[in-house]
Structure 1
Amino acid sequence: MQAMSERLSDLDSHVQGAIRVVTFYDTLMRRRVDLSALARSSAGLAVCVVGIRLHGTGRVTRIGPDGSEAPAQGHPPSSTAPITLDDEEIGTVWLERPGRPGPLDEVLLDRLAIAATAVVERYGPARTTMADPALVELVVSSGSDEAARARALRLLEFSADRPIHVVAVRSSLPLDQVGSLICTARVVKAAPLADVGVILATTVDRARFPKGVRAGIGAAESPDRSWQQARTALRFTTPGRPVVRYDELGALALLAHVPPGLARDNNDVSAISRLAHSREDLDTLDAYCATGSLRRAAERLHLHHSSVARRLDQIGKALGFDLTEPSGPLRAGLALTAWRLLADDGHGDRRGEPRTYS
């Protein structure tokens, strides 16, 4: 009789705990919280790391019990539950509890999954990577006042206390795919503007840009100046250097401000333009200017150094100066860069280089 009484007491305690969990999530849903707030509140309730992942975007939110982002190296999930919408699994929630799952973990995850579904239903379109181009243009336009810019950032779900990285992109891949790759765990938005794609991201992992993508990354704190810098950096990208940060350009960025007519009339730039019919010559010259060494250029081109030497001798004759002289690589590199900037600005033709975006 005593054993039965103890079991009923334990059951009653479990039911009361379950009711408190249900009430807790009902309150959160009435407050219309977003996924970040949902994960933060859940981690505080569970007193362990809580994770939420949406399959569509691949974005993962992991929050520790102190309310901050959890370290990358954590415990494996101790229990998981699917997030379902219209009978389709759209994501997963989990707890990273050291040791065995707690007695109320199953109830907590069930309610967390239901709450996450409600958030996705409510904010789903705004939570996607692709954004309203008009809002994105308000953020990056130099003509926007600060109040309009701040409001646009709020509507795009960016926090006022976090820096915004602006990326200019040309890609044959969809912009949302690129955005999800370079910023996997935080807010990222993308939209096409004129002839270039723009990505706004809380963080940018330059190592995760996929093949076939050209990207310029702005460095300024203000989004409008950062957008201008990102577009300038994009113009300096090459097949061998597809991602360029503006602050890495240094004095080279000044070339972007040379009037096109002045650059086009320069003898060295004109000579590069005449070489443009030969992809082989351009690749050889680019490799030599980038490495400053005949042997390293040969390694990059997978050719014997004597073959590269013969090519450089012919290219030097076409350019009208000796590439092996101390100033040769610098002079040729500046001319090649100026020619590329002209080509990118609609005054030439970058043969074989991507100019599409999605």
Structure 2
Amino acid sequence: MVNLQGFFQEFNASKFVVFSALLAFSLLYTLKLDGEINVSYWTVFLPLWIWKGIAILGALVGSYVWWRRPHARVNTEEYIQYKAMLISLAVHLLLLMFELLVADNLESHRHQWILVFIPLVFLSIISVGICVWSVRHDRSFQLELFCAVNSLQFIFLALKLDHLLRWSWEVTFIPLWIVLCVSLIGVLYTIIFAGILLRMPDVNSDQRRSSTNSALGYSFLVVPLLVFLVLLTNKLDNTIQITYFAAASPLFLTFFTVIITSFGSRGGNQYWFGLRKPPCQFLFSVCPCLQLFGNVSYSLYNNNNNNSSNNNNASSTNSRGGVEGELEQYDRQNRSHSGKKKKRIEETLAPAITLEMPD
């Protein structure tokens, strides 16, 4: 079943922008490390600048719409969305500060990495409180959760890059190993749960389909990340001789999978750019001609069912007509036979001659 209307209504624009920027940055950065492209690191970080520019511009326009609509402050839902947008803006500003320091340090090498990672470490600390607030108000917090669980990993990376830790990269990535192992346990649970639902006859087909899709989606997220970490660790420790592009190829698969799933996952703050509705619905309201492409749905299964039902109706009608015709023909034959019998009876009863009796 292909339903473009639901396909666009469930589009998560925030996830699409974030992971598209991360995919483009990862491609450029690995090519830069392999020496395939000769550009500055400021150009390599260009996809991240575009992502942060969209976020900052969307927050400014949303704040202007909030200021022009004072009656929206009474609405609790809009107030929570606007507050969540401001919190997300603060997270993006800290990330922007960290990215600026990283790009400058890669070009000039004039800072210590422990100073470069200060905005990111501070972000990981405040992300714990942001996650608690998001859970209480039923808001999404994937980026904040990633920063919160990897706070120790950021410190290890900074100390390793400053050569203050003499550990191997395999030991340096211990916090990330723990996070991925826990995620892998969750993936195994979803796979087992989906298999149990497939064997139960009383479960609805929609529940089976959703559990199977969740298991496949989590598998394509966690397993490539684990493979990427193994390849990257061996590459940094000079255990294997591969390019950075080849080591990061599972990461590209993960980003591509998340970009595809952004078209079928609801979420995202609707107060960016002051839209107050999903982006595709706003685009359809501005350009009504695009609704011709959004209101299309096609189902091969339903068409086959309709054709089969029509054929069944036609065959049943034909069969009914044939039976009725046979019954009518049988009635005519009975009537004709009964008429012939009556005539025969009348003919046998009628006298052939009349005899006159004498007085």
Tell which structure's C-alpha radius of gyration is larger: 2
Structure having the higher strand fraction is 1
TM-score greater than 0.5 by the shorter chain: no
Q: RCO higher in 1 or 2 (8 Å CA, sep ≥ 6)? A: 2
TM (norm. structure 1) is: 0.20
Compute the TM-score of the two structures, normalised by the length of structure 2. 0.20
- The structure with the largest helix share of the pair is 2
